[in-house]
Amino acid sequence: MCKPSFRQAVNQSNNLQGCCQAGLQALGNNSKKVKVDDTRHLQGSVALDECLKQVKPYSTEHRWDYLVGYQEGCLFCVEVHGDKPKEVLAKKAWLDRWLRGAGFPLRRWARSIMYYWIPTGQVSKAWNAKGTALSTQGIIVTRQAKIQCKP
Model confidence at 30, in pLDDT bands (50, 70, 90)? very high
How many distinct structural domains can be found in the chain?
A: 1
Helices (H), strands (E): how many in the chain? 5, 8
Name the phi and psi angles at 140, rounded to 5: -95, 125
pLDDT at 140 over 70: yes
Residue range of the domain that includes 107: 4-147
13 vs 127, which has greater pLDDT?
13
User: Among 119, 140, 150, which Cα is nearest to 37's?
Assistant: 150
CA distances from 64 to 4, 18, 55, 58, 121 (A): 23, 18, 14, 11, 18
pTM of the entire structure? Answer: 0.91
